[in-house]
Amino acid sequence: DLELLKRGLSTKRNIVIISGAGISTNTGIPDYQSSSRSNNSSRIVYDMSAYLRKETTDQLHADVLQKLQAGQRSMFTMFDTFAEGLAQSGRLRRHYTQNIDCRQSRLAHLSRKTVWLHGRADTLVCWIRPSHTMKVTPESFPQWIQASCPLCEEEQSKRAAEGKRRRNVGTLRTSVLLYGQDSPSESKITAAFNYDMEHPVDAILIVGTQMSITSLFNFTNKLCRAARTHSPDGLVVWVSKTPPTVAEAFRSLINFEYLGDCDEFSRHLLPLLIQYHL
């Protein structure tokens, strides 16, 4: 019952959203199920070995650029509006997303609450020094991808002026997480995970994802268990066109399932934002 869910959510002040590709399909950005390309072929494109050959490197960069372009030109959805409103109200603790298209980066409040688990299409990272990052637009992406790292070059100039020995200058690569690669943002993600485990969360919305990635499933399982243990009123909400296929022990933690469109679900909850005086 959506009215019952609305009443329950209206009292929650520490909400976490965990989202996947399903929140973007209504903007024309396909998920693996609706895409003509299979999950397996996407795994080949987004593999660390792509950088071993020019052909596969170009294919990877073209795909990342396509997602960045789609994220920048797409219209905002009902889900985006609802999540931005939650963030603006101060009730959204965190938004973990598996998407790389950076659509939410255009929303002032939601972007500050978003953790991009698989990297960002709008960010390049130095291959030698991962602390060196650079934001790009769809227009500047082709210019900077695989170019010399400007921060390395700046450091090189300073070292030369100080009479210090030269160091290698790195090249810029996509910050999108590739199969076989450690996440450049792993320390930030781990810090967010640990904080949310240590500070009680009272509602978790799992939206547009089947939770097929083991590490994210394990974290979500722990977070949901903590939320349900901390308070008998803790909410765990599953929003997807398909029912959860996860382990029964995890499914028992879910106390509300909405099997349908993410945006239609969000449309029903928009009146909550009025209650939050937005």
Instruction: Give the pLDDT confidence of 35-64 residue by residue, as tens digits.
Output: 444 555 677 899 999 999 999 999 999 999
Q: How far apart are CA 227 and CA 221, in angstroms?
A: 10
> Is 202:235 a contact under the CB 8 Å cutoff?
yes
Q: What integer pLDDT is reported at residue 206 of this predicted model?
A: 98
Q: What integer pLDDT is reported at residue 35 of this predicted model?
A: 47
**241 to each of 40, 55, 209, how far by Cα in Å?**
22, 36, 9
Q: What integer pLDDT is reported at residue 184 of this predicted model?
A: 76
Low-confidence stretches of the chain (pLDDT beneath 70): 30-41, 276-278
Q: What integer pLDDT is reported at residue 34 of this predicted model?
A: 46
> Is 102:126 a contact under the CB 8 Å cutoff?
no
Q: What residue ranges do the domains of the chain occupy?
A: 2-31+76-119+183-275, 125-174
**What is the residue-wise DSSP string for 223-236?**
HHHHHHHH-TT-EE
**163 to each of 149, 158, 160, how far by Cα in Å?**
21, 9, 5
Instruction: Give the pLDDT confidence of 133-146 residue by residue, as tens digits.
Output: 999 999 999 999 99
Q: What integer pLDDT is reported at residue 40 of this predicted model?
A: 55
Biggest CA–CA distance in the chain, Å, is: 71
Residue 256's Cβ-count burial label (10 Å; 0-12, 13-18, 19+) is middle
Q: What integer pLDDT is reported at residue 41 of this predicted model?
A: 67
Q: How far apart are CA 36 and CA 158, in angstroms?
A: 50
Q: Give the CB-side neighbour count of residue 212, counting CA atoms within 13 A.
A: 9
Q: Give the CB-side neighbour count of residue 70, counting CA atoms within 13 A.
A: 18
Q: How far apart are CA 162 and CA 146, in angstroms?
A: 28
Chain Cα centroid distance, residue 93? 14
User: Hey, what long-range contacts does 119-123 have (CB within 8 A, 24 or more apart)?
Assistant: 119/174, 119/175, 119/176, 119/177, 119/183, 119/184, 119/185, 120/175, 120/176, 121/64, 121/65, 121/67, 121/68, 121/71, 121/174, 121/176, 122/68, 122/71, 123/175
Q: What integer pLDDT is reported at residue 31 of this predicted model?
A: 61
User: Can you give the pTM of this predicted structure?
Assistant: 0.91
Architecture of domain 2-31+76-119+183-275: 3-Layer(aba) Sandwich (3.40)
* Phi, psi angles (nearest 5°) of residue 204: -125, 125
Terminus-to-terminus CA distance in the chain, angstroms? 24
Q: Give the CB-side neighbour count of residue 262, counting CA atoms within 13 A.
A: 26
